[in-house]
Structure formats: structure tokens, C-alpha cells
Amino acid sequence: MTRVAVAGLGHWGPNLARNFDDLAELAWICDGSAEQLAPFRRRFPQAKATERFEEMLADETLEAVVIATPVPTHYELAKEALEAGKHVLVEKPPAMRGAEMDELVALAADRDLVLMPGHLLLYHPGVQKLKELIDGGELGEVLCVYGNRQNLGIVRANENALWSLGVHDLSVILYLLDEEPEVATAQGRDFLQDGVEDVVFCYLRFPSGKIAHMHLSWLDPHKMRRLTVVGRDKMAVFDDMELERKVTIYDKAPWKRAETYGEWQTRSGDIFIPKIATSEPLRLECEHFLRLVGGDGDRHKVARDGAMVVSALERLTDSLRAG
């Protein structure tokens, strides 16, 4: 069984620790705060506990490190772990600069280690369904994708809506379209706190001509977690706020009738709601990481895909700041 350590036991880390305790050998738990660590010493008595990240890295039998600490610490901790020869699963985003992410990707490639960003939404069975519909040609040629991630709150002080919310949709849009955007622009405003944009609109254009849009906001009357894919033949919506209709496929499209003079009309057919599995996306993410560590699958692709997300985030941030 793979020996795994989890660092950062705040809000999110315990979910990772629970899953790795089930799926692998949770060998170490680590948190910089003794108070934060205390309840987990009792919950995972078989795991060694430490407040010092370096202490667990010194354990030569430890194979993989999972990092769920605050975003600004990700790059340094991931770098240390890779340098110590450990496979790394690091919460999103693994770095705040494209150059830092490229350095991590190169380090992992040099040592043939896994560097996997925790892009949870990619493991959502609803997103997997969208991918299947797109790759299987069910929607026809994809023209555009747009994401809505809005709510009233949680107002964050140190991450803007682009980094806090946009990282999810961006990872999914790039995964679905499997292309790097050639244009990435953003507009937004910091209404509540100087320099922390709470409303952001992003535009992406891809070499194939596809376009994408993201509306990210914590100043909104609607709670929306929705992604819409418009194809030439059909359209599909993934709505994570829905309990039973996570994915809806609309047999709707523009249409030219053969017997007329070629003017565009529209066609509205059936609306189909496929059954979507209720598997826990985090468990699927952890299983994928363990498979990559075990040598199953392309371990360098997840790192390169993660680098594409960080690079796009950086370009969107530059555009946002340029106004």
C-alpha cells in the first residue's frame, strides 16, 4: 500500500486524510498548528503526527505527500516534497505564477514523479459525462462553453473571485476543450476590498475558433454552479445545484431546411436527462492519484494540464489588472 502523508488539516485537508486513510496507508499527518493537529492525532492514531513538514519528508519510506495548506505556501512545499523524491498531490492552484508552476512540472518530469493539482471538479461524474458527450461527437462541433459560478458570499480577503472561483471552471473548460487558449482576457471590479476583485468576467478564445466565458462573483442574488456547452447539433448543461438533473442534454440547434433558400431556422427536439453516478469526486481524485503513483496512466499529463490552468489564470490576472 502506498505510504501517504497529508499536510494542512484545516477545512479541506481532513477530507483528503479520510480518503487516503481508506485507500492507502496514511503514514503521516502534518499541520503547522499544534492545536489544529491535536484532534487528528486521536482520529488517525496509526499515523505519525508532526508540526514540521521537513520531518515527514525525511522519512525515506514515505512515497507521496498531499498538500492542503493555504495557496501561497503550495509552491514552496510542493518543491520541497518533489526535491525529497516524493510524489505530490497539491491543492489547486499548485503555484501562483506560471514560471513557478513550470519549475514544479520540470522537477517532477526530471525525477519521474507525479505532480497532480487537486482539480476536484474534473472528477465530478457530471463533468465526466460532458467530456464523454463532447469526445463522442454527441453534441456535434463544440462552438462555445460558458461557466456561471456566482453566489452572495463567501467574501474572501486574500484571493479574488478569479483565483478562488475561476480555477474550478477554468480547469474544466480546458479539460473539455483540450486546447490552450490563444486569447485570455478578463474585466472585473473590487467593490468590497481594494485589490480583491469580487465580480469578474472572463473571455477565452482557442486556436480551433471555440470561445468560452466565465462569470465569477460573490456579489450575486443567484447561487449558480453551472457550465453550458453549445454544440452545432445539441447543447448540454451541467448544473451542480441540481440534485437529480446534474446534466441536461437539449436536442436543439440551428438548422437549414433543404427545401427553403438556405435561411437559418431552429430545431427543438427532446430534452434528455442521463443518470449521473453519485460517487464522491474527491475519492475518485484520490484513486486517480494513487493509480498514477502506482505507474498506471500518464503521470506527466496531469502536471502539464495543471500548468495550462496556472498560465491561463496568470494571463487573465494580467488582463484584469490592466483594466
* Other Cβ atoms closer than 10 A to 142: 21
By C-beta, is 53 or 250 nearer to ligand NAD? Answer: 53
By C-beta, is 90 or 276 nearer to ligand NAD? Answer: 90
Binding site for ligand NAD (CB under 6 A): 7-13, 30-33, 36, 53, 68-71, 73, 77, 91-92, 118, 120
Query: Residue 90 Cβ, how far from ligand NAD at the closest point, in Å?
Result: 8
Query: Are 304 and 105 spatial neighbours (Cβ–Cβ below 8 Å)?
Result: yes
For residue 154, cis peptide bond before it (omega within 30 degrees of 0): yes
Laid out side by side, the sheet with 48-50 consists of: 48-50, 25-30, 3-7, 64-67, 87-91, 115-118
Query: Residue 14 Cβ, how far from ligand NAD at the closest point, in Å?
Result: 8
* 70/91 Cα distance (integer angstroms): 9
By C-beta, is 94 or 231 nearer to ligand NAD? Answer: 94
* 298/282 Cα distance (integer angstroms): 20
Closest residue to ligand NAD, judged by C-beta, is 10
Query: Residue 303 Cβ, how far from ligand NAD at the closest point, in Å?
Result: 17
Query: Residue 58 Cβ, how far from ligand NAD at the closest point, in Å?
Result: 15
Query: Residue 214 Cβ, how far from ligand NAD at the closest point, in Å?
Result: 17
By C-beta, is 13 or 306 nearer to ligand NAD? Answer: 13
Cell of 238: 451541467
By C-beta, is 250 or 289 nearer to ligand NAD? Answer: 289
Report angle CA 11, 12, 16 to the nearest 5 degrees. Answer: 140
By C-beta, is 7 or 142 nearer to ligand NAD? Answer: 7
Query: Are 281 and 123 spatial neighbours (Cβ–Cβ below 8 Å)?
Result: yes
Query: Residue 302 Cβ, how far from ligand NAD at the closest point, in Å?
Result: 14
- Classify the C-alpha dihedral 65-74-121-280 as positive or negative: positive
